[in-house]
Each structure stands twice: as structure tokens, then as C-alpha cells.
Structure 1
């Protein structure tokens, strides 16, 4: 008997079916226009683009233009690349334009699909960003698809790391810009550290099409992009705190060796508070629980960790006056590696060596918050449905499964579960041998580089030729993937997401032609192409006869999406193929999720050595286990986002304020408002409203006005006058401050004064924002402990972050007013010098922004080391120090896949 849900789907179709059905009339319209656009000349295709732009200006919408624009783009792609878009590709393009994720299987031509919505939305002139996962794909796709856009009269740009500023601005000024997610995020941060509008690269965040959207918006979403620079010298603070820590007794703290964590007890907090007050590190009337104390609490915690968790000659050594960390696994020194968040400085203070400045965050943003800046966002991938809830909740993106152009002919086998990893790998080698003998190409998926190397050795022992996919060089990678479909090829790969190159049966014909032309430059390219295309047809048929590409996975990933990506490499465009997952009870996922019960079942079944259990129930229970892990990871990302949203709201306010300041020609009104607010706050503090004259602290007010506004005013005498109240005093101070600024304006001249006001405002905002980011980081690291006091850490963080932000705005107003009031009238030469100094300081910040590394670039251990040439890396062991000098093990650095 059918359930109600199943019955409803049978009658009405699934929501996905209904979305597909709704696009069919639009696709039919585009197809009906094909003949009209085929009749146009190349010039007329470009004229059509101008006509569309004119119609947009007159009030037509993009949706009304869609059928004609898509038909124009389809014709241009046919002429420029010889590619005719299928109906399913047009559907994918429609869903992207509507702001959805188009889930399209591998080999369905996603790169071409992106050109349709990019062209349509590019007609607005606001710029469209096409986002890829690596620089190689950004350059390749931009070069390839620029031919289509050029045929439509549209400009194409590409953004890449270390690009000259002028070239980068030109790329962003294009109608369509290809870039990686990293570069877009860093450029956004860099732009908001610039001091002139014309130095900013990005124009607008209008529409982004994200390729491999699940990889960028989910897998990488937890990693913030950080631009850092050297922090102010805090060595005296570390030294002072270091005097306090040895005075603590055992009742003052507790150590948890299992988690390597150390915390203060209530008695410890009380003792610390008293000692810090005595030393003047904590202000009178303040406690360690105040928001303003977050940074101090953070450093006190780091001091305790340095003393109680880090032991000299075990965790680190002191060498030539430096604290050098020791790798706990190999016992080797990790030169150049430093602990973050002030911990390394705390150890340096403990050992009495020279304290080196820590790096501080100048600007940061997460991908989640960067991509939510766009007015419209869309994405493409082969696997998104499993994460549909997260896409909707965080990005308001719907997921639509676009049907394949041809039915999928791949055979997906049930998982085979073995008792031990040894039995599993022996069975895998046998299975690869069988497929290889009949000429069937095999793609073997592993979850780590160690496992791929182990399997590679096993295949070498039985004499099976194979390739191991190396993720260190994208160009090499593309070549290996292109060869993976050749007759009898065996390829071991660790992560197949976002390779950007299809595995074509018989091998990639374009790669073969390029190789042949390069090998024989004197030969006739047309003859070479014809011969290779004929040979390739025979190879392709032979591979199809052998069963197509066989995807053999050696383990289940904790995310179903990654498994589906690997499986989807086989059976592209209706090709034959098969996929199979080989598992063992010793695999991580099986071990964590109830393999004991399964082990008992397998034992009771009396399974022999080398036998496997294969049943759909096993698949179902594994899917449930994966769904649990995915749900947990989603909750972690959601929680992180809630914390980051607090900072993101403040970031938007600061960045928009900076932009307004840069756009403004005259900032005198803003500066005056700030000055008036400072005066109002001071008068309110020293002459509180609704109080008697004898309760006023006019002497204190006089001193504060002198300190903040450089004015010596008879405040005490004014207050003694008959009938004078706080409003009168406030007005007189305002007038005196206005007179002082009028004198400065006359001395400097209007133009120089406007420039100085702008530079001082920007510089003060940047300094205060940097300090604020650091305080928020420290608050984040300590606020979790509030949970022990039955208080919600997120609410505490929101409240205190807001108080800190209000404090930032107050101190910003005071600092700007103070700096401007102290500027002395200068002669012309001194004025120019001052402006140059201010600009130099700004340029220094811009320079810091140009290097988006969270730490200093390491010094390579080998002087001939070249990032892009693995041959220059020598032959380090998996656990040796990486030759790049980062201090990490090779397997966690350049040896990682």
C-alpha cells in the first residue's frame, strides 16, 4: 500500500518535477528563436546585445529578455566554440538566473551553462562574477568562454593572485569576471583598507555564479579569510603577567591533561583580580568579567597555559635566544613555526628571552558572509541535494536537480563490507586486476594520501601499471584526469571534487591533439587532428565494450556528497559505467557507527576469510550514519555563523562608513558632529543634567576640554555666572571649538584641510577597527566558559560585542577630535610633508593588505625550493619537515592532497 506522500508525488509530481516542467515553455521559446538568430551575421549578434541593453533601460526586465538573450548566446557559442547547448543546459541556465543551485551531473557541460545567465545579467552593466575553486580553472574557463562573450560584444576578465593592481581593476571592470573564491574575498578586504575610491578594485556585488558550489559554500565555509600585520608591542604586558603566574598555588587552577586544558578556579580568579589591580594592569572599579577586560583575561589564560602545559626541552627548546617548538611525533625542531594568539609570546616571557611581536588580524571575513553580500547568488555542482537544507537556511538558495541530457546507464553496485582492512585491500587489488585484464579503465578513490600510496605499492607488487593523482600541480592533474578514461588505465585519486576536466572514454581527444601538434610542429595540424579523431573513435568503442569507466571507492566518506562526486565521474552523457564501494569494519565511519553489532552479525553468519557482505540494508544504515555526521557538521557551521554574524553586522557598518568618507568631498560637517558629540558627552559627565551647581565638577571639565580639544577655557567662571546651565556651557565650548577649527581652516587652506580630515578619519577608523577585531577574538575565546554559569555564550557575546562597538564609536569620535584640534598651522612645505606622511601610513596598510597570509612567509629549508615545481622539493619522508620551511610535517603541508 502506498503512503500518502508517495501517492501525492505520483499524482502531482515532486516539487523538483514541477520546477522542471515550468521551464519547458521557456526552453521551447528559445528553440523556436534558433533559426532567426542563425540567420544573423556576426555583427548583428553584437548589435542584438546593444538592443537588449537599450530595452533594459526603457524598463523591460531580464526575465522578459531571457528567451532572446539565451538564443543569442547559444548561437554565439555554436560559432565561437562549435558547442550547441542542449535543452537541459538551457534549463540549468534558467535556474541559475533565478538564483538557484543547478545540480547537474558530471559531463553535462556546466562551464557552458554559466555563460547564459552570465550574459543575460551582464547586460545590466553591473558586472557578473563567475567563481571557481582554483586559479587554473579560473584562467582556463575565462580564456575558453571569453570567445563566446566576445562574439556577443561583452568583455571578459580574470582575477588571480599577485596580479598588478591596474590589471586587477580592469578585470573587475569587465562585464564578466572569472575568479577564485579566495581572491574575491581577499580583494573585498583589501578594498576596504584602501584610502581612495579609485584604488578599489571591486565595483559591486551584483550577481555571482559559484562553480562547485558545495565545495566553496559548505566545505570551505568554516575557514575565515584573514589579512594580518604586525601588532603593537605588548612585551611589557607579557612580562608583568609572567611575574604573577608563579605566585599561583594549586587551589588557584585545575589541569585537564586529557584535553590539554587549564582553567582558573574561583579562588584563582579572585587572587588574580587583586594582583592585577595592585600592578595597575586592571583599572580601579573594573573586574575580570567586564567586556573591556576580555583581552587581559585572554593573555592571563595564555600565561597560565605557557607555565602549566608547556615544558622546556619537551614541548620546546630555547636556542640562540629563540623559543623553538618541538614536533611531538618526530622530536624534530620546527624552526619558524610559532604558536598563535599570544601563546608563543607568553612562553618567551616565561623563558626571559626577547619577546617577538605577534601578528594581528587587520581584516577578516568568512565565505558565508562574503557570498551573502551579493544581490543574487547561484551555483552549479554535481552534488547538492544532500545539503539542500543548509543551502536554503544559510544562503536562501534552492536546489534544482536538472535532468541529464541522456539517461544514466551506470550500474551502481551495493557496498561490499569486509571484516578487516587487509581483506578489503586484497579484494580491491583482485577487482582492479580483473577490470584491467579486459581493458576497462579504473578510477580508484581513496580518502587520504597515505592510503593511496599504500594501494599504489600493492599494485606495484603485482605489476599493475597505474597513475597516482597528484594535486600539487593543477596542469598535471588535468592531464592525469584526461588519461584516466584510456583503455586499461588505472588511476588512484584522493579527492575528485572540482577537477574541472572530464574523464572521457578512450581518453581526452583535445589533449591528444595538443600533444601530437607539440611533438610534431612541422606537421599539418588538420591532418594530425583527423588521424587522432579517427583513432580515438576506435579507442572509445573498445572502452565502451569493456564496460566503460569503473569507479572503485576504497572507503565511505563521512559526507554522502563526496561519495556521489566520485561515483558521478562514471557514466557521463549516457556512457556505460559501473561503481562499487569496498568497505571494512576497521574503516573510520564503520568503526564510529556501530561496527561491533555488525561484527557480531558477520561472525554469527560464519563468514570465511576474504568474504564480504553485500546487501541494500547495509547501504541504508550507512546512509543514516552519514546523515547523522552531516547534521552534526551543519550544526557546528550554523553555530559558528551565528557568532560571525555579530562581527559581520559591525564590519558592514565600518566598511560602509569608510566608503562614505572616501566618496565625500567635504567632511567638515561629519567632523563637527563628532566634535559636538564629544563635547556633549564631556559636559554630561562633569555637569550631569538635573543636578545642582555645587555637584558639578567644573575643574575636571576644564582639564578634559584642554586634553581633548586643546582649548583653555574659563569653564569654572562660566559655571559661577548667574542663570548659566549645562546647555549654555556646552554651547560656549562648541563655539570656542568652532573658532579654533576656523583658524586652522584659514591657516591650512580649504583643500589641504579637507585632505587632512579625510586621512585622519580613515586612519583612526582603521586603527580602532583593528584593535576592536583583536578584542572580539579574545572575547570569543573566553565567552564559552559562561556556559558553566548557566548563561548562553552567544547572547553574552552579542551583548558584550555591542557594548564594545559602542565604545569603539565613542573613542573614534574622541580620537578624531583630539587629533584635529592638535594639528598646528604649518607653512606650505610642512603641510605637504604632513600629507605625505599620512599617505605613507595609509600606503603601509595597503601594502599589508596586499599579502593575505596569516603568518610570515616561511624561509625554505632548501634555497632552490620552488612552490610550483615538485622536482625542486627533494624527496622528504611523510613525517619530515616540509622543505618550504613552514615548520609543518610534509604530509600536512606540500605533501597533502
Structure 2
């Protein structure tokens, strides 16, 4: 049995709480002493630990007894080694204890937060007091974690569910019945709202009461995205004539003269002169008359003109306005702006006006996450907002040291007067990098429009980059793009959709490349021509090396067996 001593008492933690961290974080110092007693040489000796003997007879007010935490961490650490062939660093176990103590753990990029999340999640699942959720910023990360590290929980007898934005009610109900559920913050919130609007029991998807929630990338979800509430709307008839009139008035009005714009709060207000001009153009005496309320149509048209830009807040897809999440860069499937805003944007883009949305239910992320009796979170940047986390969510921040000394160099920001100068500098830096050593480069952009502009400039300069943004053709190649982003000479331009928790492996992700290869081969054998054409088929240049004949033969035998 592999030995790996723990000496957590010597680690220096930066924490915002008053009590000494060593009092609560020195628990696992004796964990190796327990290991030979509870873990045998084969996997069958691990699973019985999840039975009644493993669950504590009595729970403390804040969780498990110390002995049970020791045993659970030891079992999970061995399971991670057997399933994923990864071994926890001492600081990762320390991070698990911080999360189990219902705190916010700040762990630097690349320190393995994904497997750290297994530790408190496993313990919470053993409590069996309600739903246990691991919340991620987007569907890709939720699916990746459920499929990858979820193997460890399944190995130990803990069922794992996955909720995605495209799932139907029955699939959601099945996922929420699992011991641990991986999903995004938006899906968690909207399913909660829909359940509260449900009329019949069979319409409810969240069958378990909220108990434990671990939020990944907490600064993004709990701070940045928390500015916008979650809203469910119902459809009411819309009158295209009123939206068209609002658009014509907004076109005639001038910024700062007839109206003011608050870009931070996404709001616009008419001045006294602006109201008078709008009334004259519409031929009405009062914009605020409740019968027609022209003020709403004019203000929505002004917001559509000034605050909502094509390629940034939304894109046109299949003749429809599709909302782009400004934080993740992904299209929000099935989402619409409420109170006539969506119709105002459709009118702006000369698209037939659809039905109007009216708010039926809403909740803020602050209120949603405070519903959990046990809440913890992790991120790479938290201590700067520690006061806000503690005030709003009651989460105390604890900084976890790195497993090895930090050698990465963080350069200061460079500010340019114009966007043109900034893009020129980016292109020059990439060309110089490719000439010098060909290190893989990832360029992060704030929106779809900027990502496509940089790609165009790079191609003009003779560099062929990979693009990842909210466009459908780009999303279809997401796995391929990410799997080869770390290869020599690769330049990848991406919106925020790949900026949170995405694991880009230097040299390329060999397992992802193998999965793409097998999927394309299976599609050729098992699907008809029309269906197989929808599956991405990588070119031979995509793979960094030739596939051995032995491997190709083994794959062919698998295909023949599947067909037979």
C-alpha cells in the first residue's frame, strides 16, 4: 500500500476568519494510520464502506464525527488513485477540509480543484439528508466532471446525475434522484422556479430538499452573474405596430440630448425634452397613459439601440434572436428577454415580432443559494471579495497554498488608447511567439464580435487560429478545439465559454483525441449517411502521430462485434 504522510499542521493558510485555522484543519494528520485497517487490496473491500457500518451513528451539528471524516477521506483518496490514477497532495486534502467546513477555498489555477470537490461532496452524499449539488459555470464543465471524476463516486456506490439545458422533464427527474447532481447555476435556479410554478406532482423535477451545494468558480457565479436575477416568463400577445413605432422614435432621438444611458445597470431614461419629442412623433398627449403605455415601447427601443449589440449580447440564428450569455459566451437555449425587450430587439433586426413575455416568477442567486443549509465554494480568486462573500452568503474565505512553489510569472496589464492598437499588438505578439518557440497561445475575448475580428486579423497575417465562440458551427467543434489547444504552435481564440475550469493539456489531450477518433469511426459504421455527416470527422492532420495498426485492428473488431 502506497504511503504518503500528511503534515498539514505546518502549512500556512491565509484566512479571513478569526479562529485559528490549525484547530479545524489538522484533522487528517493521522489519516495514514487508519488506511491499512479500512482498505484492502481489491476494490470490493471499498464498496462496503458505503453501507450502514460506514455511516456514523450520530452526527455532530456541523457534519460528521472526526473519525468518520478521516475514514471517508482515506477511502476516497484510494478510490481516486484506483480509478483516475491521481494521488491527492496534502494541500488538496486541506482544501477538502475547508470545503467540508462550509467555507470558500481559494486555490490557484491548476491545483486540482475538480478532484478536491469530491471530498466534501462524498461526505455530504453519505449524510443522506437531501439533494447534493455540484454547481459549475456551464454545461460543458458539468458534463465533463460528471463523466470524469463522477467515475470515482460511482465506483464507491454513490449515484451521479447530470442535468443539461437540453434535457426533458423525465431525464431531469431521473438525474435529481441521484445522490450527487452536477449542473449549472442557471439550471438549478430555473428548475427551482418551475417546480414552484408546477400544478401537479408529476411536473416537479427536484424531488429532494436542498441540503448541500458546492459552487465551482464562485466569483463568477456568486458575484458576477448574481447581478442578474433568474426570471421565468409567460407568453402574452404582442402588437408589432407598437414596437415598430417605438423603433422609429428611438431612431429619431439623440443620446445625451433626448435620453441618458446607464451602461453598467443596462438602463436608459428619457429627458424632459426627449419625452416631449417622443409625444410629438407619436401624436399622443402622454407617454404614460396606462391604456397603451407608449413609454415602455420607446424605452425598450432605446435600450435595443444603445445597450444590445449584435454579436455581443445576442446573435441571429435560424432567423431568430438568440441570447448570448455575456459571462460564459454561450447561447442561452430557449431563453428570452422579458417585458417586451426581446420583441424590441427583433424589431430592430427586422425580424417578425414573436409573442411577448411577461414575468411569472423570479429569484436572485443570493436568495437561491441561501436556501441551502450547507453551502461551500471554491475558486482561484476569492480573497479580494472576501467581505462580500461573507456578508451575502456567510462564506468565510480561506487561501490554500500551492502544492509546489509558484513559478508562473504574472505580467502587468497593458492598456492601449484604441482597440485597433490593442489588436495590432496581439497579432504582433503571436507572430513573434510562433517565430521564437511556437508555444500554444490562448486569446480570451469578451464577446463573439471581438473574437471574430481577431481571427480575421490573424488570418490576414498568415496565422491560422482555432475559434471557439457562441456560433453553432463553433460549438459543434468545441471538444476538438479544446483537445488540441495545448499543442505546439496552436493559436486558439475563445470567448469566456472556455475561460472557466477548462483543462487545456500541454501537448494535446490524447484521451479526447482518441474519443473523437472512435466516435467518427463508429458513426461511419452505425449511422446512415445523413446522420453520420453531422458527426465531426477529424482530418489526419488533427492527430499528432499515426495510429498504430494494432489499435486500428482492435477498434475494427469492436465495430464488427457491435454490428453483429
TM superposition score normalised by structure 2 = 0.67
- Where does structure 2 lack aligned partners over 5 or more consecutive residues? 1-11, 243-255, 261-267, 277-286, 311-315, 322-335, 345-352, 523-547, 556-564
Match of 2:127, SS state, is coil
1:642 corresponds to which residue? Answer: none
2:235 and 2:443 map into 1 onto residues whose CA distance is 46
1:165 and 1:344 map into 2 onto residues whose CA distance is 26
1:122 and 1:79 map into 2 onto residues whose CA distance is 20
2:233 corresponds to which residue? Answer: 228
Kindly state the Cα deviation for residue 375 of structure 1 after the two structures are TM-superposed.
0.7
- Where does structure 1 lack aligned partners over 5 or more consecutive residues? 1-11, 239-254, 269-295, 316-326, 347-354, 530-897
Kindly state the Cα deviation for residue 510 of structure 1 after the two structures are TM-superposed.
2.0
Q: Is the 8 A contact 1:213 1:380 kept in 2?
A: yes
In structure 2, which of residues 90, 107, 112 is the aligned counterpart of residue 109 of structure 1? Answer: 112
Distance 1:484 1:62, change over 3 A: same
1:154 and 1:499 map into 2 onto residues whose CA distance is 26
2:189 corresponds to which residue? Answer: 185
1:447 corresponds to which residue? Answer: 446
Distance 1:306 1:510, change over 3 A: closer
2:149 and 2:103 map into 1 onto residues whose CA distance is 22
Distance 1:412 1:135, change over 3 A: closer
Distance 1:361 1:116, change over 3 A: same
Kindly state the Cα deviation for residue 390 of structure 1 after the two structures are TM-superposed.
1.6
Distance 1:104 1:455, change over 3 A: same
Match of 1:220, SS state, is helix
Kindly state the Cα deviation for residue 373 of structure 1 after the two structures are TM-superposed.
0.8
In structure 2, which of residues 75, 81, 84 is the aligned counterpart of residue 81 of structure 1? Answer: 84
Aligned length: 443
2:204 and 2:520 map into 1 onto residues whose CA distance is 45
1:482 and 1:219 map into 2 onto residues whose CA distance is 28
1:214 corresponds to which residue? Answer: 219
Kindly state the Cα deviation for residue 209 of structure 1 after the two structures are TM-superposed.
0.7
Kindly state the Cα deviation for residue 360 of structure 1 after the two structures are TM-superposed.
2.4
2:553 and 2:355 map into 1 onto residues whose CA distance is 65
1:393 and 1:483 map into 2 onto residues whose CA distance is 42
> What's the RMSD between the two structures over aligned residues?
4.2
In structure 1, which of residues 385, 397, 403 is the aligned counterpart of residue 401 of structure 2? Answer: 403
2:162 corresponds to which residue? Answer: 158
* 2:483 aligned with 1:492: no
1:428 and 1:141 map into 2 onto residues whose CA distance is 33
* 2:362 aligned with 1:360: no
1:120 corresponds to which residue? Answer: 123
1:393 corresponds to which residue? Answer: 391
Kindly state the Cα deviation for residue 399 of structure 1 after the two structures are TM-superposed.
1.8
Distance 1:398 1:336, change over 3 A: same
1:467 corresponds to which residue? Answer: 466
Match of 2:221, SS state, is helix
2:362 and 2:226 map into 1 onto residues whose CA distance is 13
Q: Is the 8 A contact 2:233 2:360 kept in 1?
A: yes
TM superposition score normalised by structure 1 = 0.44
1:302 corresponds to which residue? Answer: 293
Q: Is the 8 A contact 2:338 2:358 kept in 1?
A: no
Match of 1:150, SS state, is helix
The superposition leaves residues 303-332 of structure 1 with CA deviations (integer Å, 9 ceiling, x where unpaired) of 356689989xxx9xxxxxxxxxxx9xxxx9
Kindly state the Cα deviation for residue 460 of structure 1 after the two structures are TM-superposed.
2.1
1:117 and 1:524 map into 2 onto residues whose CA distance is 42
The superposition leaves residues 78-119 of structure 1 with CA deviations (integer Å, 9 ceiling, x where unpaired) of 222222222122112111111112222222222211111111
Match of 2:47, SS state, is helix
| Map 1:227-246 → 2, pairs under 5 A | 227-231=232-236
In structure 2, which of residues 88, 99, 103 is the aligned counterpart of residue 100 of structure 1? Answer: 103
* 2:72 aligned with 1:69: yes
2:301 and 2:511 map into 1 onto residues whose CA distance is 57
| Map 1:716-727 → 2, pairs under 5 A | none
2:411 and 2:259 map into 1 onto residues whose CA distance is 43
Distance 1:230 1:43, change over 3 A: same
